[in-house]
Amino acid sequence: MSFFKKLKESIASKTEAVTKQFKDGLEKTRKGFVEKVTDLISRRKKIDEEFYEELEEILIGADVGVNTVMNIIDDLRAEVKKQKIEDAADLQPILSEKLVELLRGDEDNSLHMNPDGITVILFVGVNGVGKTTTIGKLAHRFKQEGKKVLMAAGDTFRAGAIEQLEVWGQRVGVEVIKQQAGSDPAAVMYDAVQAAKQRGADVLLCDTAGRLQNKSNLMEELNKIYRVIKREIPGAPHEVLMVLDATTGQNALSQAKLFGEKSGVTGLVLTKLDGTAKGGIVVAIRQELNLPVKLVGLGEKIDDLQTFDSEQFVHALFAGLIQENEEKDGNESPEN
């Protein structure tokens, strides 16, 4: 069975709506990356040094990351030698398979929920990456699942941050626990935890400041928040999600390295994937940071925040090729 056929079968159990969201959300990356690979393969039927160089450029252009690209090219060279591949078209499924492997990782990318009480999820990340929108969309998702949700407006420093979260609260019908702008974020978290306990909440989603005067101030602030939450709910926070803007490509990776190493991040959220042709950044991040991508933003709609799924991701990228392969398989006689 071909790789593409296996890939299609393995995601057949997932809903069509989710598959469509991944396809629609990754359209720019598909055009900027997969179509270039397809074009390269149809132009250069022969696998030579120039072919590898051009493929390298395409992968780097999609923000897959230089180190990861070098490893992919080395692996492809080894496969070509091992399988004695001569036709460039035979490399496509191997490249796709390699991407699935790189994205999959060993760890579970689902959100860790508290089985014995309130689940506390903390959101970190610089301003402008879509943190508040992500919190609002996730609140909506949990509410759709029948959970009682509260949101905490812990970004008390950015002008308009509290109001922005309140707008989301009204939109999705979720209460926002807040104080005045400029107040102590840890005090907001204390209030939010007490409110969550009193109201019998299942999930508490906490916004935090994206930028204080300097990085050490920000880390101090986060540590204070952790201490307050942990004291009130042992084992919390259950997730610390760092939100990154996929359209910033390698900058998102640098942010994650700088910010993530000291802030106890447990997973990543990549927003605005639908707005970039550089969706390869997911591969770079997955390879260069030992952190799972847990959620991806695939559009503007309220339900466009999806659990990251490596197979869905690659399937959406190579959708056109999968169809071509199916047609080709269908046209071949059983004897062939």
pLDDT in tens, 18-45: 778 888 898 998 888 888 888 898 888 7
Helices (H), the chain: 3-10, 16-25, 27-29, 35-43, 49-61, 66-83, 91-104, 131-144, 161-172, 185-198, 215-232, 250-260, 281-288, 310-317, 319-331
Residue 330 has pLDDT above 80, yes or no: no
228 annotated to bind ligand? no
Cα dihedral: 285, 28, 96, 295 (round 10) = 40
Distance CA 141, CA 107 (A): 23
Distance CA 165, CA 138 (A): 12
191 annotated to bind ligand? no
Residue 290 has pLDDT above 70, yes or no: yes
38 annotated to bind ligand? no
210 annotated to bind ligand? yes
Fold of 18-107+315-331: Four Helix Bundle (Hemerythrin (Met), subunit A) (1.20.120)
Q: Write out the H or E segment, with its range, that includes residue 245.
A: strand 239-245
- The residue with tokens 């910033």 is 248
pLDDT level of residue 221 (50, 70, 90 thresholds): confident
Mean pLDDT over residues 127-132, rounded?
Answer: 91
126 annotated to bind ligand? yes
pLDDT level of residue 128 (50, 70, 90 thresholds): confident
131 annotated to bind ligand? yes
1-5, 73-77, 255-259, 290-294: least confidently modelled range: 1-5
Tokens of 329: 């398989």
pTM of this structure:
0.87
314 annotated to bind ligand? no
Per-residue model confidence (pLDDT) at position 333? 45
CA distances from 4 to 11, 80, 334 (A): 11, 19, 19
264 annotated to bind ligand? no
127 annotated to bind ligand? yes
User: In whole numbers, what is the pLDDT of the chain averaged over residues?
Assistant: 86
Query: Using N-to-C axis directions, what is the helix angle for 281-288 and 91-104, rounded to 10°?
Result: 50
What is the tens place of the pLDDT at every residue in 151-210? 999 999 888 999 999 999 999 999 999 999 999 999 999 999 999 999 999 999 999 987
Give the residue extent of every domain in the chain.
18-107+315-331, 119-311
In CATH, what number does 119-311 get? 3.40.50.300
Q: Contact at 8 Å (CB) between 307 and 110?
A: yes
Distance CA 188, CA 181 (A): 11
129 annotated to bind ligand? yes
pLDDT level of residue 3 (50, 70, 90 thresholds): low
Nearest to 153 by CA among 112, 111, 114, 195: 195
Residue by residue, DSSP assigns 103-131 as HH-SS--SPP--TTS-EEEEEE--TTSSH
Equal CATH topology for 18-107+315-331 and 119-311: no
Q: Which DSSP symbol is given to 235?
A: T
Q: Apex CA 147: angle with CA 145 and CA 148, to 5°?
A: 150
High-pLDDT (> 70) share of the chain, %? 86
Maximum average pLDDT range among 8-17, 35-44, 250-259: 35-44
173 annotated to bind ligand? no
272 annotated to bind ligand? yes
283 annotated to bind ligand? no
Distance CA 143, CA 169 (A): 11
What is the tens place of the pLDDT at every residue in 173-184? 999 999 999 999
271 annotated to bind ligand? yes
